[in-house]
Structures are given as C-alpha cells and as structure tokens.
Amino acid sequence: MIFDSYEAFRASNFAARACILGSGPAGTTIARKLGAAGIPVVVLEAGSREFSDESQDFYRGATVGDPYFDLDITRLRFMGGSSNHWAGWCRVLDSQDFEPKAWAPDTGWPISRTDIEPYLGEVHDILELPDFRPDVPISDDIRWVQLIKSSAVRFGEKFADELDKSKNIAVVLNTYATELAGDGKRVTGARLWSNGQDAGTFSADYFIVCTGGLENSRLLLWSNQRSNGGVVPNAAALGRYWMEHPTFEGGNAILADYGEFEVDAVNEAFFSPTLPAMERLQIMNFGIRLIETPYPSVKRLIADLACTAPDMAEWMSAKLSQRLRCAAQLYVAWEQAPLASNQIELSKADVDHAGVPRIELHWKKSPLERRTILEGLRLFGKTLAEKNLGRVRIADWLTNGEDYPTNEELAGHHHMGGTRMGTDVTKSVVDANSKVHGMDNLYVGGSSVFCTSGECNPTTTITALACRLGDHLSKVITV
C-alpha cells in the first residue's frame, strides 16, 4: 500500500513490526524482503512521488575543506531517493576492498565479499544487470574490470505497483522522521513531520535507518544529541570516516588499437590495480576509465609526443591517417583512505524548516590519494608500453604537483561512511549485521555502513547488503 500522507496511513490502522526510514534502493530492497517474509513493515518517506523544490530544500547544507557539490544537488529527496537520477554504473566491491591494508589505517571490514555473494543473483534481478564477469589481468599490475552500464533502475517507478499491491508493506509519503528517541538500549519511537508540522511519534519494534549516505549520519547525530546518547550509545565514530570517489582527468593514452580492450555499451573500458601492485606501492584502489578522445585532441597529443619520441609519433600519425580510433582520455576515480577527520557534523548556525540542524560536511583529499593516482597512471602507462598496447601521457597538473583542476567531474555523488561497520566501538557505529552497537532494535542500511569505498560505484553493493540485512531481519523479527 502507498499512502500519500501520514494521516491517511494512521486511518488505515496498519500495524507494523518494523519501520524503515527512506525509500531509496536500500529502504525499498529491505522492505520487499521483509514483506516477502510476511513481516508487516512501514516505510516512512520524507518526499512525495515527484521531485519538489520544497522537499529538496531540506537537503541543503555546507561543505568545509575541498570543493564539493551542493548538498541539495548531490542527492534526491523523494520516493526512490537518488535512484531517480543515478547513472546506473554497476559493480560489486572487490574481495580485496574488504580486507585490512597495513599501509592504510582503519581499513578492513568485519565481513568479507563472500558474505554478500549469495545475494548477487537477487541484485542482478533488482538492478536488471547482464551477467557479472570476472576481472581479466592484463599484466601483473593492472586488470581489466567490468563496470556494467545498466538501465539505471528507478526504484520508485519500478516497484511502485508491487508496493502498492503489497498487504505487508505500507509506504507512507510526505512523512519526515526528524529524530529517533532512545533509552540507550532501544529506540522507542520516531518523531515525525508531515504537512509542514509536527505529526507526533510513531512506534515500532524495529527501526532501520535508510535515509542515504549523508542523511543517515545527520539523523543519528541529531537523535543522539536530543536523547543524550540514547540512540547511538557508542558515538565516537558517528559521522566520521566519510568517503567519496574523487574523479579527475589524469592524462591521455595513444592506443595501438582501441579495439584491443573490451568496451561497454558506451564504448568505455575500465582498469584497476592488482592487490600485489597495491601492496608493493602502498596505494589505494583506483579505476582508470578510458574514453575515446575527439579527433582534434588526437592530433594535439601526437604532436606533443613528437617532441619527445618522434618515431613513435610518426607511427601513431600513420595510424591516424588510416583513420583508426586511437586515443583516449584517462579519467581516474579512486578509493579514499578512511580518515576520522572527514566527517559529517551538525551545523551550529543553520536548521531546516522542521528545526533539524543542517549538515556541515568536512571533507579533504589526502596525500596518499594523490600518490595513488600518480602511481596508478604510471602502472597503467608501464603496462601499455611493455605490452606494446599504447603509450600514456600523465596530465601536467599531476606530474608538476599542482592543485586539483577546478573544472572537472570532482567526484561520483557516492556518499559512503559515517556509520561504518566494525567490531571496535570506538571506530565503528554498526556491527557486522548493520545493528547499531549497544542497541537492540536499531539497524542502518545504505553506503554509510561502508568501511572502505573501493573504486567502484556503491549501489550494487548497497543493494546486496540490503538483501543480506533483509534476510537477517526476517529471522530476527518473529511475526
């Protein structure tokens, strides 16, 4: 059932065992799992069926540190969440992303990739993906990786009919959970805001916070402050270790044959480091994206190469005269080192219409990341040269140690960390089952539980984790 207001839902007398906050990929997936297990669940969604400026305004916030997107631009606040404008790039985190790395503090998850692999079949159906393909090593250092360009499922649209017909699931739109109340053991209720006013408290036996990779931290920080630590009793890491996938053009490549590598539906190919290469160079994971270069840039690149290696340039210009596609821009997206200082805080100056403090995001890229991209492009260039597949030119801003360019992609709109998973309560917020440490009935869904970000887009892993959490809760919650 879908209700357009909290009043309509109340009138229905629907009795829920569990309450999910947010109807994005995480919340919708968990709700469908619980519904399928016969557990009555309510999904409280702050927005309505469509985009609105009024709803979006609740997402405004500020960023301190490196340049970042406006916080009301980098996500969407209505049914289906940011899946309403995601690009649909899909890949699951690598096995190595789950393992601790001696050279990067605070890495490693309490679960491994094998814990989510049983759910990849379901993820495949939910996200409408072709088959997952194994990586293909092209040298000891570099592997070709599959990043699927999917149809970008809009969760609100795809599942609206199913949710509306479900007897076990009630989706309640235009209902903003402004805070949770808790006694240090259990969440006792959620304070609601609907129709521009306070709408009282909603109670359920279990609460699952799925409000997105920025908002999860905001809601829990505010709830904890209001309940004197009664919602997240171990809050040292709450809001901390926030991560993105910074993305910049790091250079160009001239290729002997663009067709050498398997490309995806939009003619792009992706490459990442092998674990031994990461260990040897003590760098983080990264993804190099090869995008075919427009023709005029190819000429300029070959002319540049002629200054350094005339014979090589001559060979390439011959290729050019045969009108072969032969050059590519190299975009690099990388894994950030998890840092406690990259954190979501509550603004001391600015609140939204419901009186909840807005986000102040503190975010900076680290020197380790800078080394990761430079060494990464070197590894890729070395591989292409050794295999005679092509030649790489690293961008001047990187080789000259200049600032990051200001006119580029910037990052992926991937909001990770803030309520990370772990066993150490001083460095994590939830346990291996996504349950908040010390609380009996509070769980978190979404990429805020990520301990590390890997190099790939998060939603495939979010969906797999949501299937896993849904299964877990189906066993914990008895009807």
Partner 1 sequence: MSFFIKKMSRRAIVQALIALPALSLFRNQPVVDPPNADPNEIVEVNGWILKRSDLA
Ligand X SMILES: Cc1cc2nc3c(=O)[nH]c(=O)nc-3n(C[C@H](O)[C@H](O)[C@H](O)COP(=O)(O)OP(=O)(O)OC[C@H]3O[C@@H](n4cnc5c(N)ncnc54)[C@H](O)[C@@H]3O)c2cc1C
Cα distance between residue 325 and residue 269, in whole Å: 14
What mask, x for binding partner 1 by CB under 8 A, covers residues 26 to 45? Answer: --------------------
> What's the closest the beta carbon of residue 9 comes to ligand X, in angstroms?
13
Give the phi and the psi of residue 20 in degrees, each rounded to 5: -105, 135
318 touches which of partner 1, ligand X, none (CB within 5 to 8 A by kind)? partner 1
Beta carbons of 234 and 281 less than 8 angstroms apart? no
> What's the closest the beta carbon of residue 59 comes to ligand X, in angstroms?
8
**225: helix, strand or coil:** helix
Q: Which is nearer to partner 1, 250 or 357 (CB)?
A: 250
Picking from 242, 233, 206, 221, the residue whose alpha carbon sits closest to that of residue 65 is 242
With CB under 8 A as the contact rule, the residue among 11, 87, 265, 385 that binds partner 1 is 385
167 touches which of partner 1, ligand X, none (CB within 5 to 8 A by kind)? none
Give, as ranges, the residues between 183 and 222 that touch ligand X (CB under 6 A). Answer: 210-212, 215, 219
- Degrees (nearest 5) of the Cα angle 448, 452, 457? 75
Determine if 82 is a binding residue for ligand X (CB under 6 A): yes
Picking from 418, 398, 33, the residue whose alpha carbon sits closest to that of residue 250 is 398
Give, as ranges, the residues between 287 and 326 that touch partner 1 (CB under 8 A). Answer: 299-300, 302-314, 317-318, 320-321, 323
Where are any strands of DSSP class E within 183-324?
187-194, 197-202, 206-209, 240-243, 246-255, 269-273, 286-292
- Degrees (nearest 5) of the Cα angle 196, 155, 338? 85
Where are the alpha helices (H) located in 150-233, listed in sequence order? 155-165, 215-226
210 touches which of ligand X, partner 1, none (CB within 5 to 8 A by kind)? ligand X
Structure tokens at 49: 């069926």
Give, as ranges, the residues between 8 and 67 that touch ligand X (CB under 6 A). Answer: 21-27, 44-47
Determine if 52 is a binding residue for partner 1 (CB under 8 A): no
With CB under 6 A as the contact rule, the residue among 74, 194, 247, 474 that binds ligand X is 74
Structure tokens at 405: 């360019």
What does the DSSP 8-state code read for residue 413? S
Cα distance between residue 278 and residue 112, in whole Å: 19
Give, as ranges, the residues between 227 and 266 that touch partner 1 (CB under 8 A). Answer: 251
Q: Which is nearer to ligand X, 16 or 462 (CB)?
A: 462
Structure tokens at 197: 């006013």
**147: helix, strand or coil:** coil
With CB under 8 A as the contact rule, the residue among 396, 403, 407, 478 that binds partner 1 is 396
Cα distance between residue 330 and residue 457, in whole Å: 17
> What's the closest the beta carbon of residue 305 comes to ligand X, in angstroms?
33
Cα distance between residue 274 and residue 261, in whole Å: 17
> What's the closest the beta carbon of residue 433 comes to ligand X, in angstroms?
17
What mask, x for binding partner 1 by CB under 8 A, covers residues 399 to 438? Answer: x---------------------------------------
With CB under 8 A as the contact rule, the residue among 187, 384, 416, 466 that binds partner 1 is 384
150 touches which of ligand X, partner 1, none (CB within 5 to 8 A by kind)? none
Q: Which residues contact 388 (CB under 8 A, 6 or more apart)?
A: 256
Determine if 392 is a binding residue for partner 1 (CB under 8 A): yes
> What's the closest the beta carbon of residue 398 comes to partner 1, in angstroms?
8
310 touches which of ligand X, partner 1, none (CB within 5 to 8 A by kind)? partner 1
- Tokens 């002319």 correspond to 303
Task: Choose the stretch contacting ligand X; rule: CB under 6 A; options: 69-77, 194-202, 262-270, 339-347.
Answer: 69-77
Q: Which is nearer to ligand X, 206 or 258 (CB)?
A: 206
Residues that bind ligand X (CB under 6 A): 21-27, 44-47, 74-75, 77-78, 81-83, 85-89, 176-177, 210-212, 215, 219, 413-414, 446-447, 457-460, 462
Interface contacts to partner 1, rule CB under 8 A? 251, 299-300, 302-314, 317-318, 320-321, 323, 377-378, 381-382, 384-386, 391-396, 398-399
